[in-house]
Amino acid sequence: MKPYITLGIETSCDETGAALYHSEKGLLSDALFSQDHHHAYGGVVPEIGSRVQLERINPIISSALEQAQLDLNDVDVIAVTNRPGLAGSLLVGVCFAKAIAGALNKKIIGINHIEGHVFSPFLEFDVPFPHICLTSSGGHTSLFLVRGFGEYEILGQTADDAAGEAFDKIAKMLGLAYPGGPEIEKRAALVDFQDFFRYPRHKPKTLDFSYSGLKTAVMYDLVKKNAYDMKTKKFTGDDELINKVASSFLACVADVFVEKLERAIKQHPDIKALTFVGGVSRNKFIRERIEQLAKKYELPLFIPSPQYCIDNGAMIAFVGNYKAAQGKFSDLYLDVQP
Ligand code: KG4
Ligand code: ZN
Protein backbone atom coordinates (compact mmCIF):
# COMPACT_ATOMS: atom_id res chain seq x y z
CA MET A 1 0.00 0.00 0.00
CA LYS A 2 1.26 3.49 -0.94
CA PRO A 3 1.91 5.82 2.04
CA TYR A 4 -1.03 8.12 2.71
CA ILE A 5 -1.92 11.14 4.82
CA THR A 6 -5.01 11.38 7.04
CA LEU A 7 -6.55 14.64 8.21
CA GLY A 8 -8.34 14.12 11.55
CA ILE A 9 -11.12 16.55 12.52
CA GLU A 10 -12.64 16.69 16.01
CA THR A 11 -15.60 18.97 16.85
CA SER A 12 -17.79 16.82 19.11
CA CYS A 13 -18.04 19.23 22.04
CA ASP A 14 -16.15 22.43 22.94
CA GLU A 15 -12.74 21.65 21.41
CA THR A 16 -11.91 22.23 17.74
CA GLY A 17 -9.08 19.89 16.74
CA ALA A 18 -7.31 19.09 13.47
CA ALA A 19 -4.23 16.93 12.91
CA LEU A 20 -2.32 15.26 10.08
CA TYR A 21 -1.11 11.68 10.37
CA HIS A 22 1.28 10.01 7.90
CA SER A 23 0.85 6.24 7.54
CA GLU A 24 4.63 5.70 7.83
CA LYS A 25 5.98 8.79 9.62
CA GLY A 26 3.21 9.12 12.23
CA LEU A 27 1.85 12.40 13.54
CA LEU A 28 2.87 15.39 11.37
CA SER A 29 0.92 18.16 13.07
CA ASP A 30 -1.74 18.83 15.66
CA ALA A 31 -3.77 22.03 16.16
CA LEU A 32 -6.34 22.66 18.88
CA PHE A 33 -8.67 25.41 20.01
CA SER A 34 -10.36 25.05 23.42
CA GLN A 35 -13.38 27.25 24.05
CA ASP A 36 -13.45 29.25 27.27
CA HIS A 37 -16.89 30.69 26.52
CA HIS A 38 -18.67 28.35 28.96
CA HIS A 39 -16.90 29.20 32.24
CA ALA A 40 -19.70 31.41 33.51
CA TYR A 41 -22.37 28.77 32.85
CA GLY A 42 -20.89 25.82 34.78
CA GLY A 43 -21.12 23.59 31.69
CA VAL A 44 -21.04 23.62 27.90
CA VAL A 45 -23.86 25.61 26.26
CA PRO A 46 -24.55 23.66 23.03
CA GLU A 47 -25.70 26.66 20.98
CA ILE A 48 -22.54 28.63 21.84
CA GLY A 49 -20.40 25.51 21.33
CA SER A 50 -21.53 24.95 17.74
CA ARG A 51 -21.28 28.62 16.76
CA VAL A 52 -17.70 28.82 18.00
CA GLN A 53 -16.89 25.54 16.19
CA LEU A 54 -18.06 27.21 12.97
CA GLU A 55 -15.76 30.19 13.58
CA ARG A 56 -12.72 28.10 14.50
CA ILE A 57 -12.80 25.14 12.13
CA ASN A 58 -11.24 26.88 9.14
CA PRO A 59 -8.32 28.48 11.02
CA ILE A 60 -7.59 25.26 12.96
CA ILE A 61 -7.46 23.09 9.83
CA SER A 62 -5.28 25.73 8.13
CA SER A 63 -2.99 25.74 11.16
CA ALA A 64 -2.60 21.93 11.09
CA LEU A 65 -1.77 22.07 7.35
CA GLU A 66 0.68 24.95 7.86
CA GLN A 67 2.51 23.18 10.70
CA ALA A 68 3.00 20.17 8.42
CA GLN A 69 3.79 22.40 5.42
CA LEU A 70 1.11 20.71 3.37
CA ASP A 71 -2.08 21.77 1.64
CA LEU A 72 -5.43 20.05 1.31
CA ASN A 73 -4.42 18.47 -2.01
CA ASP A 74 -1.76 16.43 -0.16
CA VAL A 75 -4.38 14.82 2.10
CA ASP A 76 -5.66 11.37 1.07
CA VAL A 77 -8.20 10.56 3.79
CA ILE A 78 -10.44 12.76 5.91
CA ALA A 79 -11.36 11.26 9.29
CA VAL A 80 -14.03 13.14 11.20
CA THR A 81 -15.75 12.52 14.55
CA ASN A 82 -19.42 11.86 13.73
CA ARG A 83 -20.52 10.29 17.05
CA PRO A 84 -21.27 10.67 19.96
CA GLY A 85 -21.38 14.33 21.01
CA LEU A 86 -23.41 17.51 20.72
CA ALA A 87 -25.38 17.44 17.45
CA GLY A 88 -24.67 21.05 16.46
CA SER A 89 -20.94 20.74 17.16
CA LEU A 90 -20.62 17.38 15.38
CA LEU A 91 -22.45 18.79 12.34
CA VAL A 92 -19.82 21.52 11.88
CA GLY A 93 -16.99 18.98 11.55
CA VAL A 94 -18.97 16.49 9.48
CA CYS A 95 -20.29 19.12 7.02
CA PHE A 96 -16.81 20.58 6.65
CA ALA A 97 -15.28 17.14 6.06
CA LYS A 98 -17.95 16.22 3.50
CA ALA A 99 -17.48 19.50 1.65
CA ILE A 100 -13.71 18.91 1.33
CA ALA A 101 -14.13 15.24 0.46
CA GLY A 102 -16.76 16.03 -2.18
CA ALA A 103 -14.93 18.98 -3.72
CA LEU A 104 -11.45 17.43 -3.79
CA ASN A 105 -12.50 13.81 -4.28
CA LYS A 106 -10.99 12.49 -1.02
CA LYS A 107 -11.93 9.41 1.00
CA ILE A 108 -13.93 10.10 4.17
CA ILE A 109 -14.30 8.08 7.39
CA GLY A 110 -16.72 8.79 10.25
CA ILE A 111 -15.01 8.14 13.59
CA ASN A 112 -16.45 7.21 16.97
CA HIS A 113 -15.09 9.80 19.41
CA ILE A 114 -14.72 7.22 22.19
CA GLU A 115 -12.67 4.95 19.92
CA GLY A 116 -10.45 8.03 19.45
CA HIS A 117 -9.87 8.24 23.22
CA VAL A 118 -9.35 4.46 23.55
CA PHE A 119 -6.50 4.51 20.98
CA SER A 120 -5.04 7.90 22.03
CA PRO A 121 -2.13 6.25 23.95
CA PHE A 122 -0.82 4.91 20.61
CA LEU A 123 0.11 8.47 19.58
CA GLU A 124 3.04 8.08 21.99
CA PHE A 125 3.33 4.44 23.06
CA ASP A 126 3.31 0.99 21.58
CA VAL A 127 0.68 -0.54 23.87
CA PRO A 128 0.51 -4.36 23.78
CA PHE A 129 -2.81 -6.19 23.13
CA PRO A 130 -4.97 -7.28 24.81
CA HIS A 131 -5.26 -4.51 27.36
CA ILE A 132 -7.87 -2.88 29.55
CA CYS A 133 -8.72 0.77 28.94
CA LEU A 134 -10.44 3.05 31.42
CA THR A 135 -11.97 5.98 29.49
CA SER A 136 -13.14 8.87 31.61
CA SER A 137 -14.18 12.21 30.24
CA GLY A 138 -16.96 14.77 30.43
CA GLY A 139 -19.28 12.61 28.35
CA HIS A 140 -18.29 9.00 29.06
CA THR A 141 -16.93 6.64 31.69
CA SER A 142 -16.29 3.13 30.36
CA LEU A 143 -14.05 0.13 30.74
CA PHE A 144 -12.97 -1.62 27.53
CA LEU A 145 -11.17 -4.83 26.73
CA VAL A 146 -9.04 -3.86 23.72
CA ARG A 147 -7.86 -6.73 21.52
CA GLY A 148 -6.55 -4.90 18.44
CA PHE A 149 -6.94 -1.77 16.32
CA GLY A 150 -10.67 -1.11 16.17
CA GLU A 151 -11.33 -4.35 18.09
CA TYR A 152 -12.69 -3.71 21.55
CA GLU A 153 -15.58 -4.68 23.75
CA ILE A 154 -17.29 -2.78 26.53
CA LEU A 155 -16.84 -4.35 29.97
CA GLY A 156 -18.71 -1.68 31.89
CA GLN A 157 -20.04 1.83 31.56
CA THR A 158 -21.83 4.54 33.46
CA ALA A 159 -25.53 4.17 34.10
CA ASP A 160 -26.01 7.93 34.43
CA ASP A 161 -23.48 10.77 34.68
CA ALA A 162 -19.93 10.43 33.41
CA ALA A 163 -17.17 10.95 36.00
CA GLY A 164 -16.01 14.21 34.35
CA GLU A 165 -19.58 15.46 34.38
CA ALA A 166 -19.77 14.67 38.11
CA PHE A 167 -16.55 16.70 38.65
CA ASP A 168 -18.14 19.58 36.74
CA LYS A 169 -21.44 19.40 38.65
CA ILE A 170 -19.82 19.16 42.10
CA ALA A 171 -17.57 22.10 41.20
CA LYS A 172 -20.63 24.10 40.16
CA MET A 173 -22.32 23.19 43.47
CA LEU A 174 -19.26 24.55 45.29
CA GLY A 175 -19.26 27.75 43.23
CA LEU A 176 -16.06 26.75 41.36
CA ALA A 177 -15.42 27.44 37.66
CA TYR A 178 -15.99 25.14 34.67
CA PRO A 179 -14.35 22.76 33.83
CA GLY A 180 -14.61 21.44 37.36
CA GLY A 181 -11.97 18.66 37.25
CA PRO A 182 -8.86 20.84 37.49
CA GLU A 183 -10.54 23.12 40.09
CA ILE A 184 -11.46 20.15 42.31
CA GLU A 185 -7.93 18.78 41.98
CA LYS A 186 -6.35 22.12 43.00
CA ARG A 187 -8.64 22.39 46.04
CA ALA A 188 -8.05 18.76 47.08
CA ALA A 189 -4.26 19.28 46.89
CA LEU A 190 -4.56 22.01 49.54
CA VAL A 191 -5.74 19.40 52.07
CA ASP A 192 -3.49 16.54 50.89
CA PHE A 193 -6.22 14.55 49.11
CA GLN A 194 -7.60 13.32 52.43
CA ASP A 195 -10.99 11.65 52.62
CA PHE A 196 -12.87 13.70 55.22
CA PHE A 197 -16.49 12.75 54.58
CA ARG A 198 -16.40 9.14 53.25
CA TYR A 199 -19.11 9.65 50.64
CA PRO A 200 -20.86 6.39 49.67
CA ARG A 201 -19.06 4.24 47.10
CA HIS A 202 -21.16 2.78 44.30
CA LYS A 203 -20.53 -0.93 44.75
CA PRO A 204 -22.57 -3.26 42.58
CA LYS A 205 -20.65 -6.40 41.66
CA THR A 206 -20.52 -5.38 38.00
CA LEU A 207 -18.06 -3.24 36.08
CA ASP A 208 -20.63 -0.46 35.61
CA PHE A 209 -20.34 3.01 37.13
CA SER A 210 -22.89 5.42 38.57
CA TYR A 211 -22.34 8.98 39.73
CA SER A 212 -25.78 10.51 40.24
CA GLY A 213 -26.10 8.98 43.73
CA LEU A 214 -22.74 10.42 44.74
CA LYS A 215 -23.75 13.85 43.46
CA THR A 216 -26.97 13.73 45.51
CA ALA A 217 -25.09 12.46 48.59
CA VAL A 218 -22.68 15.42 48.39
CA MET A 219 -25.57 17.84 48.00
CA TYR A 220 -27.55 16.50 50.99
CA ASP A 221 -24.42 16.42 53.12
CA LEU A 222 -23.85 20.10 52.30
CA VAL A 223 -27.47 20.92 53.15
CA LYS A 224 -27.02 19.10 56.47
CA LYS A 225 -23.90 21.16 57.12
CA ASN A 226 -25.91 24.34 56.39
CA ALA A 227 -23.63 25.08 53.49
CA TYR A 228 -25.99 24.81 50.50
CA ASP A 229 -29.24 26.59 49.76
CA MET A 230 -31.49 24.26 47.71
CA LYS A 231 -33.73 27.15 46.59
CA THR A 232 -31.07 29.47 45.19
CA LYS A 233 -28.70 26.54 44.43
CA LYS A 234 -25.89 28.50 46.06
CA PHE A 235 -23.00 27.27 48.19
CA THR A 236 -22.90 29.16 51.47
CA GLY A 237 -19.96 27.45 53.21
CA ASP A 238 -16.38 28.61 53.61
CA ASP A 239 -13.15 27.95 51.72
CA GLU A 240 -12.05 25.20 54.06
CA LEU A 241 -15.25 23.27 53.43
CA ILE A 242 -14.79 23.61 49.65
CA ASN A 243 -11.34 22.02 49.98
CA LYS A 244 -12.62 19.18 52.16
CA VAL A 245 -15.58 18.37 49.89
CA ALA A 246 -13.37 18.52 46.78
CA SER A 247 -10.83 16.21 48.40
CA SER A 248 -13.39 13.70 49.71
CA PHE A 249 -15.12 13.60 46.33
CA LEU A 250 -11.84 13.02 44.48
CA ALA A 251 -10.87 10.26 46.93
CA CYS A 252 -14.23 8.58 46.30
CA VAL A 253 -13.91 8.72 42.48
CA ALA A 254 -10.37 7.33 42.67
CA ASP A 255 -11.46 4.48 44.98
CA VAL A 256 -14.25 3.44 42.60
CA PHE A 257 -11.91 3.54 39.58
CA VAL A 258 -9.36 1.37 41.36
CA GLU A 259 -12.02 -1.07 42.58
CA LYS A 260 -13.55 -1.50 39.08
CA LEU A 261 -10.18 -1.80 37.38
CA GLU A 262 -9.05 -4.43 39.87
CA ARG A 263 -12.25 -6.38 39.30
CA ALA A 264 -11.70 -6.19 35.52
CA ILE A 265 -8.06 -7.31 35.83
CA LYS A 266 -9.11 -10.36 37.86
CA GLN A 267 -11.74 -11.26 35.24
CA HIS A 268 -9.20 -10.93 32.40
CA PRO A 269 -5.90 -12.29 33.72
CA ASP A 270 -4.46 -12.55 30.17
CA ILE A 271 -4.23 -8.77 29.66
CA LYS A 272 -0.80 -7.27 29.05
CA ALA A 273 -1.33 -3.62 30.00
CA LEU A 274 -3.65 -0.94 31.35
CA THR A 275 -4.48 2.41 29.78
CA PHE A 276 -6.23 5.42 31.31
CA VAL A 277 -7.58 8.01 28.86
CA GLY A 278 -9.95 11.00 28.49
CA GLY A 279 -10.07 14.38 30.22
CA VAL A 280 -10.19 12.94 33.75
CA SER A 281 -6.92 11.06 33.13
CA ARG A 282 -5.21 14.45 33.51
CA ASN A 283 -5.83 14.12 37.23
CA LYS A 284 -2.49 13.44 38.95
CA PHE A 285 -4.01 11.98 42.09
CA ILE A 286 -6.10 9.41 40.18
CA ARG A 287 -3.11 8.65 37.92
CA GLU A 288 -1.03 7.82 41.00
CA ARG A 289 -3.72 5.58 42.43
CA ILE A 290 -3.96 3.66 39.15
CA GLU A 291 -0.14 3.46 38.95
CA GLN A 292 -0.11 1.72 42.35
CA LEU A 293 -2.69 -0.77 41.12
CA ALA A 294 -0.72 -1.44 37.92
CA LYS A 295 2.40 -2.10 40.02
CA LYS A 296 0.52 -4.52 42.25
CA TYR A 297 -0.44 -6.60 39.18
CA GLU A 298 2.91 -5.99 37.42
CA LEU A 299 1.17 -4.47 34.42
CA PRO A 300 2.57 -1.59 32.37
CA LEU A 301 0.31 1.48 32.50
CA PHE A 302 0.00 3.95 29.61
CA ILE A 303 -1.55 7.40 30.09
CA PRO A 304 -1.39 9.99 27.28
CA SER A 305 0.34 13.34 27.75
CA PRO A 306 -2.14 16.00 28.93
CA GLN A 307 -2.79 17.41 25.42
CA TYR A 308 -3.95 13.96 24.24
CA CYS A 309 -6.09 13.27 27.33
CA ILE A 310 -8.59 15.96 26.37
CA ASP A 311 -10.40 16.01 23.04
CA ASN A 312 -8.01 16.44 20.12
CA GLY A 313 -7.73 15.89 16.38
CA ALA A 314 -4.61 13.68 16.64
CA MET A 315 -6.46 10.70 18.12
CA ILE A 316 -9.12 10.99 15.38
CA ALA A 317 -6.41 11.11 12.69
CA PHE A 318 -4.76 8.03 14.27
CA VAL A 319 -7.99 5.99 14.22
CA GLY A 320 -8.68 7.23 10.66
CA ASN A 321 -5.21 6.03 9.64
CA TYR A 322 -5.81 2.40 10.73
CA LYS A 323 -9.39 2.36 9.47
CA ALA A 324 -8.11 3.47 6.04
CA ALA A 325 -5.61 0.57 6.13
CA GLN A 326 -8.53 -1.75 6.96
CA GLY A 327 -10.57 -0.27 4.05
CA LYS A 328 -13.32 0.90 6.41
CA PHE A 329 -14.43 4.04 4.56
CA SER A 330 -17.71 5.95 4.84
CA ASP A 331 -19.53 7.65 1.98
CA LEU A 332 -20.84 11.16 1.47
CA TYR A 333 -24.15 10.21 3.15
CA LEU A 334 -22.21 10.20 6.44
CA ASP A 335 -24.44 11.66 9.17
CA VAL A 336 -23.98 12.59 12.82
CA GLN A 337 -25.16 10.25 15.60
CA PRO A 338 -25.29 12.46 18.68
O1 KG4 B 1 -12.10 14.28 27.16
P2 KG4 B 1 -12.63 15.64 27.47
O3 KG4 B 1 -11.81 16.82 27.04
O4 KG4 B 1 -14.03 15.87 26.80
C5 KG4 B 1 -15.03 14.92 26.66
O6 KG4 B 1 -14.93 14.05 25.75
O7 KG4 B 1 -15.97 15.01 27.46
O8 KG4 B 1 -12.93 15.68 29.04
C9 KG4 B 1 -13.39 16.83 29.70
C10 KG4 B 1 -13.64 16.49 31.16
C11 KG4 B 1 -14.31 17.59 31.95
O12 KG4 B 1 -15.44 17.05 32.59
C13 KG4 B 1 -13.25 18.01 32.96
O14 KG4 B 1 -13.77 18.43 34.21
C15 KG4 B 1 -12.44 16.74 33.11
O16 KG4 B 1 -12.39 16.19 31.82
N17 KG4 B 1 -11.08 17.03 33.59
C18 KG4 B 1 -10.61 16.62 34.79
C19 KG4 B 1 -9.30 17.16 34.93
N20 KG4 B 1 -9.02 17.89 33.79
C21 KG4 B 1 -10.11 17.79 33.00
N22 KG4 B 1 -11.17 15.85 35.73
C23 KG4 B 1 -10.46 15.61 36.85
N24 KG4 B 1 -9.22 16.11 37.06
C25 KG4 B 1 -8.60 16.89 36.15
N26 KG4 B 1 -7.38 17.38 36.38
ZN1 ZN C 1 -13.76 13.24 24.69
Q: What is the pLDDT of residues 255-314, one digit of tens each?
A: 999 999 999 999 999 999 999 999 999 999 999 999 999 999 999 999 999 999 999 999
pTM: 0.96
Q: What is the CA radius of gyration of the chain?
A: 20
Q: Relative to the CA of 162, which ligand 1 atom is closest?
A: 12
Mutating to test ligand 1, I would choose from 280, 282, 307 the residue with most ligand atoms within 8 A of its C-beta, which is 280
What are the C-alpha distances in Å from 270 to residues 210, 264, 297? 27, 11, 12
Is the CB of 301 within 6 Å of ligand 1?
no
- Kindly report, residue by residue over 237-248, the tens digit of the pLDDT: 999 999 999 999
Distance 141 CA to ligand 2 centre (A): 10
Is the CB of 10 within 6 Å of ligand 1?
no
Distance 102 CA to ligand 1 centre (A): 34
Distance 308 CA to ligand 2 centre (A): 10
Q: Are 314 and 123 in contact (CB under 8 A)?
A: yes
Backbone angles phi, psi at 53, to 5 degrees: -55, -45
Nearest CA to ligand 1 atom 3: 310
Q: Relative to the CA of 310, which ligand 1 atom is closest?
A: 3
Mutating to test ligand 1, I would choose from 10, 176, 285, 310 the residue with most ligand atoms within 8 A of its C-beta, which is 310
- Kindly report, residue by residue over 137-191, the tens digit of the pLDDT: 988 999 999 999 999 999 999 999 999 999 999 999 999 998 999 999 999 999 9
**Given a cut of 90, is residue 52 above it in pLDDT?**
no
Instruction: Provide DSSP, 2-25.
Output: ---EEEEEE-SSSEEEEEEEETTT
- Of the candidates 315, 338, 312, the one whose C-alpha atom is nearest the C-alpha of residue 116 is 315
Distance 74 CA to ligand 1 centre (A): 34
Is the CB of 283 within 6 Å of ligand 1?
yes
Instruction: Provide DSSP, 153-196.
Output: EEEEEBSSS-HHHHHHHHHHHTTPPSSHHHHHHHHHHHTTT--S
Q: How far apart are CA 273 and CA 150, in angstroms?
A: 17
